[in-house]
Amino acid sequence: MISQNIQEAFNKQINAELYSSYLYLSMAACFESLNLPGFANWMKVQAREENEHAMKLFEHIVQRGGEVELESIDKPKVKWESAVEAIEDALNHEKKVTGMINDLVDLAAKENDHAAGVLLQWFVSEQVEEEANADDLLQKLKMVGTSGAPLLMLDQQVGKRE
C-alpha cells in the first residue's frame, strides 16, 4: 500500500511531468514557426518522453492501491526569440525537474518506501540523461550560431531523433 505522503507527492510529480510534455509541445510549435522542423521533432520526442514519465508514476500509484488525482496543467510559455533561448529554457526546466525528483527520493527514504525508491532511481538516471541531452544540444547550438547553413545542418541532425 502506498502512503498518503508518497501518493500526494507522486500526483504532484505527474502534473509536473505532464506540464513538461506541454512545455515541449509549445517549444515544438515555436520551432515550427521558426521553420526549424528538426528542432520541432526533437521537442515532440521530448514531449512524448515526459508523458511516458507521467505514466510510470501513474501506474506505480495504481499498482500500489493508491488514487491518481489529476490537476490542471499550467499554460506554458509560447514564444521564444531564438532556438538558443528555447533550449536554455529546456535545460533550466530539466534542472528544476531534477530537483523535484531528488526531493521525491528524500521523501521515499524518509517514508522507508523501498518500492518508490526503486522507481525513483530510474528517474534519477533519466534526469542525468535529460540534462546531458539538453546541454549537448545547447552547446552545439551556441557553436553554430542562430542562422545560416550550420543551423540548418544542426536542424537536420536533431530531426533524426526518434
Residue 133: pLDDT above 90? yes
Q: How many CB atoms lie within 10 A of CB 8?
A: 15
Domain of residue 65, CATH code: 1.20.1260.10
pLDDT of residue 97: 98
Lowest mean pLDDT among 4-8, 58-62, 122-126, 145-149: 145-149
Total domains, the chain: 1
pLDDT band per the 50, 70, 90 thresholds, residue 147: confident
pLDDT of residue 45: 97
pLDDT band per the 50, 70, 90 thresholds, residue 145: confident
> How far apart are the C-alpha atoms of 134 and 130, rounded to whole Å?
6
Query: Could you tell me the residue range of the domain that residue 126 belongs to?
Result: 4-158
